[in-house]
Chain A
Amino acid sequence: MTLQECYIQLGGNYDDVIRRLRSERLVTKFVLKFLDDGSCTLLLNSMEEKNYDEAFRAAHTIKGVCQNLSFTRLYEISGKLNEALRNGPTPEVPALVEDVKEEYQKTIDAIRAFKESGGL
């Protein structure tokens, strides 16, 4: 599995990220680092604790990271959640959290597959 295929699988924009970060090596390094990113855990924990300010910030972080890595699909969903949480939680928040969780898992799965295929 190539990095490009990995991007296709996780719904990202490979061309865009390569244009901005300029080297496949760097992108690979950051993409693998994404596996260690704790933002999603923070989001889920904050939701559980009903700490919506923190959840908003976590969603915001996910959105920012995804923008930087051109993870378009996850970026869009986390962006929606971010907006839904901006002025206190709205009714669609729980559904969106589920969406983010699911998409996040898909992204992680794609990156793991990439990692295991030895794309390193």
Chain B
Amino acid sequence: MREITASVPRFLRRSLVLVLAVSAAIFLALASFMNRQSASTIRNVSQMYMSDLGEQIAFHFETAITLRLDQLNALAQTISSADIHHDLEEQKELIINARAREFTHLAFLLEDGSLDMLYGRQMQVTDPKAFIASLSGHEPKVAVGTDAAGNDLILLGVPAGHTPTEEYPCLALVAALPVSYISETLSLNENAGHIYSFIIRKDGTFVIRSAEDSRSSYFERVRALYNKAADSKDLDLYIGALSAAMESQTNYSTEIVVEGDPRQMFCTKLSHSEWFLLTFMPYTELDQMVNGFTSRWTAAVFSACILILAVLLVIFAKYLQMTKRQMLELDQARKAADQANKAKSEFLSNMSHDIRTPMNAIVGMTAIAVTNIDNKEQVQNCLRKITMSSKHLLGLINDVLDMSKIESGKMTLNMDQASLREIMDSIVNIVQPQVKAKRQQFNISIHDISTENVCCDSVRLNQVLINLLGNAVKFTPEGGTIEVALYEEDSPKGEDYVQIHIKVKDNGIGMSEEYQKKIFDSFSREDTARVQKTEGTGLGMAITKYIVDAMGGSIAVRSKAGEGTEFHVTLDLLRAVIQEADMVLPEWSMLVVDDDRQLCESAIASLKAIGVEPDWALDAESAMKMVEERHNRHDDYHIILLDWKLPGIDGIAAAREIRRRWGDDIPILLISAYDWSEIENEAREAGVTGFIAKPLFKSTLFYGLRQFVDTGGGVEDDQIGISRAGLEGLRVLLAEDNDLNWEIANELLTEELGLQLEWAENGQICLAKFDGSPEGYYDAILMDIRMPVMTGYDATKAIRGLNREDAATVPIIAMTADAFSEDIKKCLDCGMNAHVSKPIDVREVARLLAKFIRK
């Protein structure tokens, strides 16, 4: 993991460097390629331009020369005959005409090559042979020459218009123009452009050259310039190629380097002469311009490149940052998973240990029982221990199952109407034996209970309370005190809700601060020697917390090591809609004796609510006085409620005294939070009429006292009889496939409750019977679930789906051997009203029938 954490950024960094390098290389290559391309393009363009330019100059030359030759030719045509050298008049006219055409010299060329000057100084043809040869062939010709003053001249020759005679062998008329004429005409030396030209002959000698050049031959000039730097081989090649081109009279173009400047050279032949025009164009400036453009272009490309790289860099940096963060998160997740895993394996080893202990006991005790099979006492002892260990084991496994249900999210709440009184009663019953075994003080205080019936999952709430109380008992030493407080407040969720507070407090070993923080984590137990002696999965609190959370409540813990612990559960529960109006007792006067003022006040409030007018006393002595006073007024209390544990004279002694002094008329009920079986005989002997269990809910009081309504005394346990009153004669349809079960149910329900039972052997028959009966014929249906042909679920759905008045209202109560909460839930989902599990409990059936039929 750590390697990956390091290697990913390394990989990214390397990729970044690689991308940078590749981009830089690509841009560099691109730039140099473009540079080269542009250079060669310039060469091509200038070559084209140069050849055009050269040809144009040559054409211009040809035009100019042809014009002059034509002028001269026209002059030559005016000569009538060879006698011209005699005819002075004609000569004079010729001279005037020639001067008018700006010819500086005029002469006749004789066959021997000498020139007979008409005007101008004596001049000489520089290369007379070719000149004479051309003119002899009657071709006009241009050549160079010099006059006596040493001026360079351009000589134009046209054949004379007549045949030469013996006397005057005149071949041609020759006129001269200054060399500057050609230069000016052709703008050869114009320095405004960068282009310059020479005119040379085949052998390299200049005809027209640039002003500043002193050498007479172009070749020499080139050599002189080149000798400075370049190697002569190139030079010879160049001169050779140029000479060859001139020889063959073809156009020639090349690139040469003069004085470090590369330049383009173009050579073309000029017409009417043995001359060649060399035109040069230096690249330097063009190159500079192009280079400027190229460098600007390169700069632009490079800045684009840098911009792209910068963007890439930013993206990489961001990505790197993100990756690092992800890595960090992954690492954290891994650590959390590791920790959870570790907790689980620790839990497994703890669990194995915890399971092994009772298992060992079971195995050992079984072995002992087998060897002592005839010793009944010993076997019984062993069996008792085995039972205890098995129960413990079952508890452990149930916790683990619950936890796994919670962790897989499969735990659901079965919300139903529940009575806080019943919940507290059952808790007290469960916890009492443990409390008693450890000789601990157990106090329950209940006050400000306005709503006794609420909607909640009573099984799960029980589980929470058993966990809390079980822990309190477990972690409180013998003789310690455990207190449970239950009270209600207005709920912030609205009027339909009531906020229930349950506090479980002990003065046991308590918990360290650190442990309090993780007490609700799964698989945790405080690691102290004291705790290790105590069995448990460490799941109880996690389960408790989960259940409380699922109910939308909260749980808080306050504890100090060595001083004790207090858990505070707060739940907002929906008030159950239940009629409490009928909980009314006659206007009795009653006396409540308890040393706990809060309990007294709470009991008084409850008693007033059910129509009783109570007095109260905090100890037996003052109670005795009150009883005496009433007795003397012949207005005895109807019923006296005595707490068992009172300061001074206890409840039993007080009862004995009351009986002794005022007889047996007044029923005395003993209030006790504990199992009263141990004191029952003593109490009965002392004259106690009955018992009433703490906590004192309104309904506890009502049901406990109601039995005295008719008789005014004497305890009857004919509760079935009470239930029977409302149910006699009700017609109930019972769906049950098994004969024996049917007979038992029939016997019990008919005999005990006076119901008229009708039998349907399966769901189908049940449906048919119900469907075939007049509306309201059946008061209720008791439905077995597992039946052939049609199950109870389907039958219920079908009945609920019938189109008749009572289809939706007839109470359907499931009666099945399954008692899992899932089964119960399914029953209710199918439309049944309630569920009773087998074996048939007449009281439960009676209670449910009464409840639903009354509705």
Contacts and interface: CB of A to CB of B under 8 A. Distances in A.
B744 A82 contact: no
Main secondary structure of the interface of A (DSSP, over half): helix
Contacts of B784: 64
A45 B788 CA distance: 15
Given A20-B841, A60-B817, A61-B786, A68 B741 contact: yes
B738 A21 contact: no
Interface in A19-65: 20-22, 26, 30, 33-34, 36-37, 39, 54, 56-57, 60-61, 63-65
A4 interface: no
B842 A61 contact: no
A57 B786 CA distance: 6
Given A57-B788, A61-B738, A82 B817 contact: yes
A107 B666 CA distance: 52
A38 B764 CA distance: 21
Contact of B748 (A21, A39, A79): A21
A61 B740 CA distance: 10
A21 B748 CA distance: 7
Contacts, number: 64
Contacts of A21: 744, 747-748
Contact of A30 (B743, B817, B818): B743
A107 B91 CA distance: 174
Contact of A65 (B741, B747, B788, B841): B741
Interface in B830-852: 837-842
Contacts of B788: 54, 57
The interface centre, meaning the residue of A21, A34, A69 with most chain B CB atoms within 10 A of its CB, is: A21
Contacts of A67: 817, 837-839
Interface in B796-820: 816-818
A70 B839 CA distance: 8
B127 interface: no
Nearest to A31: B740
A64 B842 contact: no
A64 to B, nearest CB: 4
B840 A20 contact: yes
A37 B737 CA distance: 11
A114 to B, nearest CB: 16
B740 A20 contact: no
Contacts of A39: 738
B739 interface: yes
A82 B838 CA distance: 14
Contacts of B839: 20, 67-70
A33 B818 CA distance: 23
A30 B744 contact: yes
Interface residues on B, range: 20 to 34
A9 B838 CA distance: 23
B323 to A, nearest CB: 48
Interface string B733-772: 0000111110111011000100000000000000000000
B817 A34 contact: no
B337 to A, nearest CB: 32
Contacts of B745: 68
A56 B787 CA distance: 11
Contacts of A22: 752
A100 B144 CA distance: 145
Given A20-B839, A20-B841, A64 B817 contact: yes
A82 B816 CA distance: 13
Interface string B318-354: 0000000000000000000000000000000000000
Interface string B774-794: 000000000010111000000
A57 B747 CA distance: 24
Given A20-B841, A82-B817, A68 B744 contact: yes
A36 B745 CA distance: 17
B842 to A, nearest CB: 7
B841 A37 contact: no
A34 B840 contact: no
Contacts of A70: 839
A51 B268 CA distance: 117
Interface string B334-376: 0000000000000000000000000000000000000000000
Nearest to A86: B818
B817 A33 contact: no
Interface string B293-326: 0000000000000000000000000000000000
26 contacts: A20-B748, A20-B839, A20-B842, A21-B747, A22-B752, A26-B747, A30-B743, A30-B747, A37-B739, A37-B740, A60-B817, A60-B818, A61-B737, A63-B817, A63-B838, A64-B738, A64-B784, A65-B740, A67-B837, A67-B838, A67-B839, A68-B740, A68-B745, A68-B839, A69-B744, A70-B839
Interface of A: 20-22, 26, 30, 33-34, 36-37, 39, 54, 56-57, 60-61, 63-65, 67-70, 79, 82
Interface of B: 737-741, 743-745, 747-748, 752, 784, 786-788, 816-818, 837-842
Given A21-B744, A30-B744, A60-B786, 14 more contacts: A20-B840, A21-B747, A26-B747, A57-B788, A60-B817, A60-B818, A61-B738, A64-B784, A64-B817, A64-B838, A67-B817, A67-B837, A69-B740, A69-B839
